[in-house]
Amino acid sequence: MTENNRDEYPDEAGYPDGAGFLSETQPELVDEVKAGAAPSTGIDFFIVDNEADKTFEAVSGDTLIGGITYRVQDDVVTLIHTYVYPEFQGQGVASELVRRVLDQIRSGGRTIVIECPVVKAFVEKHPEYQSLVSPPA
């Protein structure tokens, strides 16, 4: 934590240079995940792996409602930043988005490195996903 009681976070380009902070909506998403949102969000969405933009996108109908940015090296996926657009926040989308992305990564036989505080909070609350976390290099 910093003097402003805000978590350090990779900057907008995804580089954890020690100078970035949580984006404006990140604290709310971390709180939502820590609170343990209901298993069903009430919003029907699916996950699209947009490899060109390096983002797992949450899409409802034809509307992008959130996503998780990432980078890949070998079989390790580094999860950088989770976002949910404001009109979809507070409805369990963040938790379900993280859950679905982690399940997709697991089914692909990959592991993860966590840079995103939302994903970190989710894995701490759901230890069944701890086995996905890659050991430090």
The model's pLDDT over 112-124, given as tens digits with 9 standing for 90+, comes to 999 999 999 999 9
- What is the distance between the alpha carbons of residues 75 and 93, in angstroms, rounded to a whole number? 26
Residues 118/33, Cβ–Cβ less than 8 Å? yes
Structure tokens at 103: 């399940």
What letter represents residue 84's amino acid?
Answer: V
Q: How far is CA 38 from the centre of its chain?
A: 17
1 pLDDT band, cuts 50/70/90, is very low
Helix (H, G, I), strand (E, B) or coil at 41: coil
Sheet containing 76-84: give its strands across: 46-50, 55-60, 63-73, 76-84, 111-114
List 114's β-bridge partners, or say none.
79
Q: Range with the lowest mean pLDDT among 40-49, 82-91, 93-102?
A: 40-49
Global pTM value: 0.79
Contacts 24+ apart (CB under 8 A), 19-24: 22/117, 23/81, 23/83
pLDDT tens digits for 52-65?
999 999 999 999 99
Rounded mean pLDDT, 26-43: 74
What is the residue extent of each domain of the chain? 26-132
Of residues 87 and 3, the one with the higher pLDDT is: 87
Q: What is the pLDDT at residue 114?
A: 94
Query: How is domain 26-132 classified at the CATH fold level?
Result: Aminopeptidase (3.40.630)
Q: What is the pLDDT at residue 28?
A: 81
- What is the distance between the alpha carbons of residues 122 and 31, in angstroms, rounded to a whole number? 10
Q: What is the pLDDT at residue 100?
A: 96
